[in-house]
Amino acid sequence: MTSSPSDVAKIDVVVLAAGKGTRMYSTKPKVLHTIGGKPMAQHVIDAAKRLGDVALHVVVGHQADLVSSSLQCAESFVEQREQLGTGHAVAQVLPILREDAITLILYGDVPLIQTQTLERLVAGCTAQSMTLLTVTLDNPQGYGRICRNTDNEVTSIVEQKDADPEQLLINEVNTGIMCIQQSCLAAWLPLLSNSNAQNEYYLTDVVAMAVAQGIGVTSVDAPSPEEVEGVNNKLQLGALERCYQRRLADALMLAGTTLADPARVDIRGELSVGQDVFIDVNTVFSGNVTLGDNVSIGSNCVVSNSSIGDNTELLANCVVDQATLANDCIIGPFARLRPGSTFAQKSKVGNFVEVKNSSFGEGSKANHLAYVGDAQVGAGSNIGAGTITCNYDGANKHKTRLGKNVFIGSNSTLVAPLDIADNGFVAAGSTIVKTVLADSLAVARGRQKNIEGWTRPSKKS
């Protein structure tokens, strides 16, 4: 059995998340912009947490309180009151780093970093060497270049604005992600200088310090440029969103899910999928969603925080939010299931039906054009087109209870609180305000009157 990095070393993780993100043109801090429905910095935190028992610290600055309250699973948030560079940011957290730990430095705007890559980085960090994550780009514009000697050993990192023409030709660049002994950081950070084009304290300058003191610098290649790409504007945010979604879509398909078009499925949370599931185009899953075996999701559906049982079919253009569907249900098309709605097996909700905080018994159905709110619908009951439950009196919500095998005729109004017992039958066009007993027919219509010789109104000139 192999050991994880956390079994052989104490790991302190530092996530730099202090920047404003001016080029995002947003009042929201850059690291809180989302990928897959989750803040970018949270993706980084989650990837680091999967390393094992790590101590995680986030350096915050711009809108520090908002960033701190929006992120989860960090041991501490340390404020960088002035943004004076990456070296200065790490220095703010130095006093709380453990002396016998290695420090993994990550960035809150690099959301696609993977735990497997971090494991490689941590594994190479020893008392005699630090590790540096690098990537080779066709166009390295804007990145710090990795400089090596004739033995191919890393000697320094030169930032774009400080590089000479020869260095600008280098395609291997710095990602900013590194792993280093705390004792080395404690010795080197106070020696950083801001004598550069940006007047900032570059963390990357510790590489040259390591070389000068005989500490090896081991580079680890990133598996792909997308994994280490940072976000500075909405264009880059959108590009990484597509990379992230394609990664999830590929994983679904490799696990057996059929996607009509992997480029047109968005997952903004956690999606658990059974066998032989089909998902059509333009579908969105958010929060925690579970799909059972042989589930079919039609085009243009939005499913949030819901569970859908085996063999259930969600037809096109449905919205399902915080609902639970058992096996063999049919929903839609154009149905809306709101929070608190539950459906027993073989129940059916058709087109233009809205259900809120209601339960449908086995085999019950509302096939079209109905509103069912705060209701309990018994097994085998049928709700006709145009039916509404009047559950709200302007101040309070009230319950409608339908027994087993109840039939509600089309265009009926059920005024809650109301009980209709087993086998009750409501005639079409009725407004029901009183209890309907078992095996009874309820008719509540105004008397029809026909007027002969009536002249239809005409428009006035």
The residues assigned a catalytic role are 368
C-alpha span between 220 and 154 (Å, rounded): 11
C-alpha span between 103 and 121 (Å, rounded): 11
| 93 burial level (CB within 10 Å; 0-12, 13-18, 19+) | buried
Among residues 302, 242, 308, the alpha carbon closest in space to that of 272 is found at 308
CA 307 to chain centre: 17
Residue corresponding to tokens 């897959």: 36
CB burial readout 155-169, b (16+ within 10 A) else e = bbbbbbeebeeebee
C-alpha span between 381 and 377 (Å, rounded): 7
Structure tokens at 28: 């929201």
Among residues 57, 53, 109, 55, the alpha carbon closest in space to that of 78 is found at 57
Q: With the CA atoms of 323, 326, 332 and 337 taken in that order, what torsion angle do they form, in degrees rounded to the nearest 10?
A: -10
Q: Is there a contact between 235 and 117 (Cβ–Cβ < 8 Å)? A: no
Helix (H, G, I), strand (E, B), or coil: what is residue 277?
coil
C-alpha span between 394 and 398 (Å, rounded): 11
Among residues 390, 382, 435, 434, the alpha carbon closest in space to that of 410 is found at 382
Among residues 145, 144, 64, 146, the alpha carbon closest in space to that of 108 is found at 64
Structure tokens at 36: 């897959």
244 dihedral zone (left: phi>0; alpha: psi -120 to 50; beta): alpha
Q: Is the peptide bond before 417 cis (omega within 30 degrees of 0)?
A: yes
Q: Is there a contact between 163 and 140 (Cβ–Cβ < 8 Å)? A: no
C-alpha span between 21 and 14 (Å, rounded): 19
